[in-house]
DNA sequence: TACTTGATTGTTGTG
DNA sequence: CACAACAATCAAGTA
């Protein structure tokens, strides 16, 4: 029991989720945002509140992008299938709609493999972030110490996240 | 930019 | 100070 929730009285994210869906796009909802709105002003861009920083963060080529969600993983495959069935349709919106519809049609078990894949990506993402984080610390010297200090392979890179490997799934193996 | 949904992230708010 | 929950942006596919 967590005494009380955060700022809002709504302890159910479901309610919000519904709202989000209702609105269609989660943009400028202005529902319970009165609070953070004061500070964030309009929208909290990418990380930084100041538009100035916005570009800074956006210009980070080393910054790992967000991992694809289960839906995106599914989309990747769906796109291929959709393309074969609809070679004429190359609009991303078409695949998005069709994919979204199909996605909802799938059962939890069917989404399971996709979620598993997405989960794996998430782990990798966190790992990349770890490296990215470190980089930020030693940015003072060199961004990529590839010649001086040579670090062949860091095996125990897992901080606290245990990664489960599926032998049956295709994974990136070792690179020599 | 169009569109999909999920996730990541950031900020706020209360205890 | 820390957790919790919301709120907004972004992630890819091509013309």
Calculate the angstrom distance between C1' of B11 and CA of A44. Answer: 8
Residue-number span of the structural domain to which A100 is assigned: 72-137
* Model pLDDT, residue A103: 94
Q: What is the CATH number of the domain that holds A119?
A: 1.10.30
In a domain, A168, yes or no: no
Calculate the angstrom distance between C1' of C11 and CA of A102. Answer: 19
* Model pLDDT, residue A104: 92
Q: Which nt has its C1' nearest the CA of A99?
A: B4
How distant, in Å, are the alpha carbons of A19, A127, A129, A131, A163 from that of A119?
A: 26, 13, 15, 19, 10
In a domain, A87, yes or no: yes
In a domain, A91, yes or no: yes
In a domain, A132, yes or no: yes
Q: What does the block give as tokens for A96?
A: 């998005």
Task: Please tell me the total count of domains within chain A.
Answer: 1
- The DSSP string of A83-149 is HHH-TT---HHHHHHHHHHHHHHS-HHHHHHHHHHHHHHHHHHHHHHHHHHHHHHGGGT-S--SSSS
The nucleotides of chain C lying under 7 Å from a protein CB are 3-15
In a domain, A77, yes or no: yes
* Model pLDDT, residue A63: 82
* Model pLDDT, residue A145: 56
Would you call A39 helix, strand, or coil by DSSP? helix
d(CA A75, CA A98): 10
* Model pLDDT, residue A8: 34
* Model pLDDT, residue A133: 79
Task: Determine the protein residue whose CA lies at the shortest distance from the C1' of B13.
Answer: A7
pLDDT along chain A (176 residues), means of 10: 35 41 38 36 37 47 87 94 90 93 92 92 88 72 55 49 51 44
Calculate the angstrom distance between C1' of C2 and CA of A25. Answer: 31
């Amino acid at each position: 029991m967590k005494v009380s929730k955060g700022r809002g009285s709504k302890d159910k994210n479901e309610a919000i989720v519904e709202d989000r869906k209702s609105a269609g796009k989660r943009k400028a909802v202005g529902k319970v945002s009165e609070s953070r709105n004061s500070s964030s002003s309009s929208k909290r861009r990418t990380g930084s509140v100041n538009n100035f920083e916005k570009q800074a963060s956006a210009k980070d080529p080393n910054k790992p992008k967000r991992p694809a969600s289960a839906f995106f993983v599914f989309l990747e495959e769906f796109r291929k299938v959709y393309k074969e069935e609809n070679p004429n349709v190359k609009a991303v919106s078409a695949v998005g709609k069709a994919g979204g519809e199909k996605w909802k049609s799938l059962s939890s078990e069917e989404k399971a493999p996709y979620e598993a894949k997405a989960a794996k990506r998430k782990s990798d993402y966190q790992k990349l972030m770890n490296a990215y984080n470190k980089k930020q610390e030693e940015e003072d010297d060199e961004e990529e110490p590839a010649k001086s200090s040579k670090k062949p392979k860091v095996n125990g890179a897992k901080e606290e996240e245990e990664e489960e490997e599926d032998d049956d799934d295709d994974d990136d193996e070792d690179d020599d």
